[in-house]
Structure 1
């Protein structure tokens, strides 16, 4: 089963559970230039050009997170790629998967802008840029 937590709940879980791991599934460009939570492990679900599926995604996560019972939190821009990535990990035996609702930038507002109505940055959680 894949759990859903909002960004503040996800941050609290990461603080309270030292075995929890945060995987940022966005593209390398998003991770570096838009920003990411501290200590987030970057493993792209899809990558430029063309947003091609990373066929080595599960293998790359397994290299970072060997313990399939550890809490694995997944973060993308708005919460969709992370769900797909979580499903792939669930199929491969990961047992405690958590999708971070709203993602890093949150949904679009009425002006088609992000970071104004939800998301990791909107909630003033720690983040950094490369």
Structure 2
């Protein structure tokens, strides 16, 4: 089962469960240039610009999280790619999956901008850029 969790609840979960892994599934350029939560691990689900699925995604996660009982929180830009990635992990037997439903940047606003209506950054949670 994949639990939907908002960014603030995800942050609280991370503080309360040190055994967790925060998996950022965005393209490496997004991860580095737009920013990411501290200690997030980047294993892309899809690669820009064509948004092709990463054929090595599952193997990358298995190397990072060998125990399928480890809580894994998944994050992308808005919650869509992370949901898809979580579904792949659930099918592979991972048991404790949490999709951060607003993502890092949140949904588009009326002007087609992000980070103004939701998301990790909008909620004022810790983040950094490379």
For the criterion TM > 0.5, the same-fold answer is yes
User: Structure 1: where are the runs of 5+ without partners?
Assistant: none
Q: Displacement of 1:49 after TM fit?
A: 3.6
Question: In structure 2, what is the Cα distance between the partners aligned to 1:61 and 1:19?
Answer: 15
Question: In structure 2, what is the Cα distance between the partners aligned to 1:109 and 1:46?
Answer: 24
Q: Displacement of 1:67 after TM fit?
A: 1.1
Matches within 5 A, 1:1-130: 1-130=1-130
TM-score by length of 2: 0.98
TM-score by length of 1: 0.98
Question: In structure 2, what is the Cα distance between the partners aligned to 1:129 and 1:55?
Answer: 26
- Stretches (4+) displaced over 2 A: none
User: What is the aligned-residue RMSD (CA, Å)?
Assistant: 0.6
Q: Displacement of 1:107 after TM fit?
A: 0.2
Question: In structure 2, what is the Cα distance between the partners aligned to 1:13 and 1:57?
Answer: 24
Aligned residue pairs, count: 130
User: Structure 2: where are the runs of 5+ without partners?
Assistant: none
